[in-house]
Amino acid sequence: MKRLQVSLGERSYPIYVGSGLLDDASLLNAHVQGKECLVVTNETVAPLYLERLVAGLNVPKTDTLVLPDGERFKHLDTLKTIYDALLAKRHSRGTTLIALGGGVVGDMTGFAAATYQRGVNFIQVPTTLLAQVDSSVGGKTGVNHPLGKNMIGAFYQPGAVIADIDTLRTLPPREFRAGIAEVVKYGLICDAPFYRWLEERSAEINARDEAVLTEIVHRCCQAKADVVARDEREADIRAILNLGHTFGHAIEAVESYQGLLHGEAVAVGMLMAADLSWRLGWIERKLVDDLRGLLETLGLPVAAPAVMTPQSFLSAMALDKKVAAGLVRLVLLEALGSAIVTGDYAADKLQETLEIFCQN
């Protein structure tokens, strides 16, 4: 087992990465506060891991809640069911919420924890690659609105993150590939050697080699922990973690969260960001082509869905949280391993990128 620390003063917490962690009851129990907890999961994960997790809990009052599965259920109505369960079962301010699942479960459970009785303890137990390397770390919680992704939420740190690599064995192939997009992101924005390491190990990644996956989750969590420790509330440097997300969120919103998966949309968005960076003269064309090849090798999409048009992109991007003074701020690449957040780019170059990707 590998142990990391997200250093945020009194809000600091550990991240555990390894195999068989769901069966280590002492690990989870060490981070449960009080004598009551609610385990929140979804209908896909529950049959696989809920019984195992609950069996190891040494908590006098343990309740469970199974939510529907999918990004399209990440909204206020579903969030209300978590509050309903907490209130119906009379959970106090001393309760602990445990998020067992992917990014949707983690985001909604975290938001419920941030707001139930003005804040209760919660633990992230991510079971998807995307959640293990990204969404479970850093304290971003929230739900979607029909007009924009994650527009309603709060920064609220978990008490611990427990990432059991074994759960990735049951992950459907498409979900696994979607998580890889966030892995590639870390190499692009802050770790060029890691990006090249990924290129050399694409076969092992596709085969879900345990040692390779453990190293991936550990390295990505360390990178995110470092960024979050420097900028917890995304006032500055943390925004680079959103490479490809402004384009990707636009795709998700236009498709009403029923088309590409989040990671798939981010993959397209990262390539679009790289293409724009090249058009602005910031990076060489070879990096764009290399990225396209890597994404294709890892089974990820590299073109916008047919439903997207330049105008639909621009309309959805205008609602992004990074918009400032009317300018859509984008995360772009200055070089492999170096990213910036800026609204200072030529609008005609953005239009070229949008037109090219909407023609594919």
Set 31, 91, 140, 219: catalytic member:
140
Q: Quick count: other Cβ atoms within 10 Å of Cβ 9?
A: 7
Distances (CA, A) of 195 to 184, 186, 228: 7, 8, 20
**Among this protein's residues, is 360 annotated catalytic?**
no
Structure tokens at 60: 């006098």
Q: Are strands 13-18 and 2-6 parallel, antiparallel or unpaired?
A: antiparallel
Set 121, 144, 150, 242: catalytic member:
242
Q: Which residues contact 331 (CB under 8 A, 6 or more apart)?
A: 189, 239, 240, 242, 243, 244, 245, 246, 273, 339, 340, 341
**Among this protein's residues, is 321 annotated catalytic?**
no
Dist. CA 64–CA 100, nearest whole Å: 10
**Among this protein's residues, is 42 annotated catalytic?**
no
Angle at 185 between CA 148 and CA 169, to 5 degrees: 95
**Among this protein's residues, is 245 annotated catalytic?**
yes
Dist. CA 144–CA 23, nearest whole Å: 33
**Among this protein's residues, is 262 annotated catalytic?**
yes
CB–CB of 111/154 below 8 Å? yes
**Among this protein's residues, is 219 annotated catalytic?**
no
**Among this protein's residues, is 75 annotated catalytic?**
no
Dist. CA 286–CA 308, nearest whole Å: 26
Set 74, 149, 245, 322: catalytic member:
245
Set 36, 71, 175, 234: catalytic member:
234
Set 74, 149, 262, 329: catalytic member:
262
**Among this protein's residues, is 238 annotated catalytic?**
yes
Set 177, 224, 279, 321: catalytic member:
224
**Among this protein's residues, is 150 annotated catalytic?**
no
**Among this protein's residues, is 234 annotated catalytic?**
yes
Set 74, 249, 322, 329: catalytic member:
249
Q: Which residues are catalytic?
A: 118, 140, 182, 224, 234, 238, 242, 245, 249, 262
